[in-house]
Amino acid sequence: MASFAPTDMYRPARLNWAQGALLLGLAALIIPTLVTVADQFWSRENGVHGPIVLATGIWLFLRQRKTLMELRAPGNPWLVLASCLLLMPAYILGRAFDYLSVETAALLGILLAVFYLYFGGRAVRHVWFPILYMGFLIPPPGWLIDVMTGGLKTFVSITSTQILGLTGYPVARIGVTLYVAQFQLLVEDACSGMNSIVSLTSVSLFYIYLLHATSWRYAVFLTCWILPIAIAANILRVLILVLITYHLGNEAAQGFLHNTAGMVMFVVALLGIFAVDRIAAPLFRRRGWM
């Protein structure tokens, strides 16, 4: 029986000293930032999507590794050097002064520059969605969340008050504060699920990309439904919390049932996206739009 000796093509590639130094340098940046993000962002309601985005984002890159190797062509080292010279001070500034959004964005920019260096522009364009998807790892600044959701909170509080009033509950509203019987609820706190719009958007876009990436018209159509469904789910959450407060007391609403209402909101929103997809997909196929 003939025997075959192992050849070089089956041996794992060895890193040279420059590649090893680069990996050590990246690890020195990634590990402390990852620990900080996990502690300050992922542990909060508006950041629960972080671990999911990280794991699924890495998977999106790995599932296209064969194509990436075929497209691989070294990028412009001078462009990478210029990018890193701009991004490293931003990373240091964010790290030193606890600007987590700046720190994380700069780190992702550095990783993108390194990816471009080894794989080139064609590969970067090919994985445009995983790159944008990884942007959900950046913690949005609090002031940006307030600006984006301020009007939505007012709309949710008005709509919730009208619905409860039509059903006969003694409810009144001043700004984003709801008064039901002897209880007072601040929608800014009770409706903190508004922050989970980012989480819902990230998970929904991942779902749309996997199932409908080949039909950009339908993908855009489903994406347009994310915000309306999120608003409807948050109205449902406020209604649940008001009813819990009215019937079981404030302690029940602010305790375990408060977190449960948040989970219900997120699940309902996701089911809403799935339902729209289930209903609309056959219509789009029938008309030849996907």
- 237 part of the active site: yes
Tokens describing residue 123: 């590969």
Whether 44 is catalytic: no
> 3-state DSSP helix/strand/coil percent for the chain, to nearest 5?
75, 5, 20
What's the DSSP call for residue 138? S
Rg of the chain over CA atoms, in angstroms?
24
The one catalytic residue in 44, 237, 285, 287 is 237
Query: Which contiguous run of DSSP H or E holds residue 186?
Result: strand 183-186
Locate 91 and state its tokens. Answer: 């990373």
Q: Under the phi-then-psi rule, with left for phi > 0, alpha for psi from -120 to 50, and beta for the rest, what region is 170?
A: beta
State the CB neighbour count (10 A cutoff) for residue 101.
15
Q: How many other C-beta atoms are found inside a 10 Å radius of the C-beta of residue 144?
A: 11
Identified catalytic residue from 191, 224, 278, 285: 191
Please identify every residue annotated as catalytic.
191, 237
